[in-house]
Structure 1
């Protein structure tokens, strides 16, 4: 059984994967290249003053990944409810020798 992808399938897979890769890989590399701190929370000193914050807000990164997963979930639902054309199942007469 082979899978045939139409334009909707290709766009949904590309957008979902691109959003997740952007949120995890690209913004993760930017965060590493920006330097310390690597954590999601801002660093504070003993007085409670913020001394360092992450380069990219973790809410943005998480939102991109979740949006990518939602796109893929919606694509999966679309694939589940669309019906492919049935295969040609015409009965054939076979005679025995």
Structure 2
């Protein structure tokens, strides 16, 4: 069985992969370079005052990853809805080697 990737396949893979990489790796590197705190919650002192917050809001990172997953879901539904093309008989046959 041959796999054919068309422009929609490549676009969906690139968009979903790019969104997830940006949300996980790209913004993770930004957080590391920005310094402490690394967690999603702001740091507070004993009095409850916020003394440090993350550089990038965690909801933005989560939104990017979820957007990538939604693109994959829509792409999967598209692949389920489109009919499978039959392989060409002339190009899909096997031959015996000499």
What range is the shorter-chain TM-score in?
0.7 to 0.9
Separation in structure 2 between the aligned mates of residue 15 and residue 50 of structure 1, nearest angstrom = 36
**Please, which runs of 5 or more residues in structure 2 have no aligned partner?**
90-98
CA deviations on 1:39-97 (whole Å, 9 max, x unpaired) are 100001111110000000000000000000000111011111101222356xxxxxxxx
CA deviations on 1:14-41 (whole Å, 9 max, x unpaired) are 0000000000000000000000000100
Are residues 1:67 and 2:67 paired?
Answer: yes
**Please, which runs of 5 or more residues in structure 1 have no aligned partner?**
90-97
Separation in structure 2 between the aligned mates of residue 34 and residue 87 of structure 1, nearest angstrom = 53
TM-score under structure 2 normalisation?
Answer: 0.86
TM-score under structure 1 normalisation?
Answer: 0.87
Q: Which runs of 4+ in 1 moved over 4 A?
A: none
User: How many pairs align?
Assistant: 89
- Paired residue for 1:10? 10
C-alpha change, 1:88 and 1:4, in structure 2 (3 Å) is closer
C-alpha RMSD of the superposition: 1.1
